[in-house]
Amino acid sequence: MDFSLGDEQRVLIDLGAQILKDLSPLERLKAIEQSEAGWDRELWAELAKAGLLAASLPEAYGGSGGGFLELCLLLEQQGRRAAMVPLLATLAGAALPLVRFGTSAQKDRLLHDVAAGKTILSAALTELGAEPRAPITAATADGGGFRLSGVKSGVPMAHEAAAVVVPARTSKGTPVVLLVDPKAPGVTLERQRPMNWEPQFLMRLDGARVRADAVLGSVEQGGAVLEWIVDRFTVGLCALASGAAAEAVRLTAEYASNRKQFDKPIAMFQAVGQRMADAFIDNQAVNLTMLQAASRLADELPSVKEVATAKYWAAEGGSRIGHTALHIHGGISIDVDYPVHRYFLWLKTIENTLGAATPQLVRLGERIAAEG
C-alpha cells in the first residue's frame, strides 16, 4: 500500500506539529496535568482557530472535507507532544460517527460547534468485564426511547461533553448506540485517575432515559455502528501511540548520544545500540501498521485484520519502546521534571485501552481461521 501523503495532508501535519510544539512546553504540560480541568483549553481553541478540529469533518458542517486519515495524522502529532486535548474522544469517538450515521438534526445540533471548538464530545466504550463490541449496559425499551442501566469506565472528558456516545444491549441481546447527555437525570460521574492523567470518569447509568431521537443510526444496525466506532477509536489510539513512541525514541537516542561512560557516549556500547535499533524497528511497525489501518478505514474497506495488527503493534511495540526509553535513561527517567516518563505512561495507557496485545492476536486468529 502506498503511504505517500498529499500536499494538504503535509500542510496539516506541519501546522498541527507547530501549534502543538509551541503550546506544549514541559512546564505547561505539568501545570495542565495538575489543574482541576485536566486539559488545555487554550490549545484546543488554537487548534480550532487553525481549522484543525474541522480537518476531518464535512464542509457542510464547517469542516475541510477530510476524513479519518487526516484525524490520525493530527493525533500522531498530539502523541509526539503528549498534549492533553480531547481530539480522540471528540472526533473519533463521536463526531465522525455522527457524520457517518447521525440524522440531520443530530449533525446540525453538534457538528458545527465541534468544528468551531465550542463543543466537546465523548464515547463510553469501556465496561469492566465486557468486550467493547459486546456491551453489558442494559437498554430497556421505554415508550419510544430507552432507559439505561449500567456502569461505563474510563469515559474521557465526560464532565464537559455535550453528549456521550453510549453503546448498550437491548432486550434482544443486540447492541444499540445512543447519544446521552452526561448531565441528564440518572447519570452520575465519578472522576478516575489513569496513568497518563487524562480526565476520565466512571459513568453510572441508573435508569437514565433517552428519547428515540438519541439513537445513532438505527436500532437494527446497532452492531455495525458499534463495530465502526470501536475500529476507529482503536486506530486513533494507535496514531497517538505512533507519535508518543517516535518522541520516546528521539529523546532516548539524543540522551544516549550525549551521556558518557568511560569517556564514550553510551550509544556506542553494543547493548545500548541493539536496544535502540530494536526500538526503531518497533516504532516503524507501530507507524506503518497504523497508517495501513487508517487508510483502509478512511476508504471504508474491510479492515478487521489491519485494525487488530495495528493495535497489537501499538500495545506490544509501544510497551517495548517505553521500557527501552526508561532503561537507557536510567535513574533520570523517574524524575517528573524530565519528559521521558510521560511517554512511557501514555504508551502504557494506550496499550491497555480497548484490548492489549493478546486480545488482538486472538481476534486475528479467529479471523484467519474463519477465512481458512
Cα 2 → chain centroid: 24
Burial 196-223 (b: 16+ CB within 10 A, else e): bbbbbbbbebeebbbeeebbbbebebbb
The pLDDT value recorded for residue 289 is 98
One domain, residues 21 and 70: yes
One domain, residues 97 and 193: no
Assigned domain for 57 exists: yes
pLDDT in tens, 275-298: 999 999 999 999 999 999 999 999
The pLDDT value recorded for residue 3 is 67
Rounded CA-CA distance 98/115 in Å is: 13
The pLDDT value recorded for residue 2 is 66
Assigned domain for 1 exists: no
Q: Please, which residues have CB within 8 angstroms of residue 203's CB and are 6 or more apart in sequence?
A: 124, 151, 152, 153, 155, 158, 164, 166, 182, 187, 188, 189
Between 268 and 53, residue with greater pLDDT: 53
Number of domains in the chain: 3
Asked which of 219, 249, 280 is the last residue of a domain, the reply is 219
One domain, residues 18 and 90: yes
- Three cell numbers at 182? 452526561
Mean pLDDT of 354-362: 95
- Please check whether residue 177 is in contact with residue 216, taking contact to mean a CB–CB distance below 8 angstroms: yes
Rounded CA-CA distance 269/249 in Å is: 17
One domain, residues 354 and 228: yes
One domain, residues 211 and 248: no
One domain, residues 290 and 213: no
**Which has the closest alpha carbon to 350: 244, 278, 252, 248?**
244
**Which has the closest alpha carbon to 41: 93, 84, 80, 81?**
84
Look up the CATH number of the domain holding residue 81. Answer: 1.10.540.10
Look up the CATH number of the domain holding residue 194. Answer: 2.40.110.10
The pLDDT value recorded for residue 15 is 97
Asked which of 120, 138, 160 is the last residue of a domain, the reply is 120
- Three cell numbers at 241? 501511540
The pLDDT value recorded for residue 4 is 80
pTM of the model: 0.96
One domain, residues 364 and 227: yes
Rounded CA-CA distance 65/61 in Å is: 9
pLDDT in tens, 119-134: 999 999 999 989 999 9
Assigned domain for 210 exists: yes
Assigned domain for 344 exists: yes
One domain, residues 243 and 262: yes
Assigned domain for 2 exists: no
The C-alpha R_g of the chain, in whole angstroms, comes to: 21
The H or E element spanning position 66 is: none
pLDDT in tens, 299-324: 999 999 999 999 999 999 999 999 99
The residue with cell 486539559 is 39
Domain interval for residue 350 = 223-371
One domain, residues 265 and 193: no
Asked which of 202, 219, 236 is the last residue of a domain, the reply is 219
One domain, residues 105 and 163: no
Assigned domain for 328 exists: yes
Q: For the chain, list the strands marked E by DSSP.
A: 120-123, 138-142, 145-156, 161-169, 175-180, 187-192, 200-210, 260-261, 264-265
Assigned domain for 349 exists: yes
One domain, residues 210 and 113: no
Between 337 and 13, residue with greater pLDDT: 13
One domain, residues 110 and 141: no
pLDDT at 139 over 90: yes
pLDDT in tens, 48-60: 999 999 999 999 9
**β partners of residue 190:** 202
Give the model's confidence band at 140: pLDDT under 50 very low, under 70 low, under 90 confident, else very high: very high
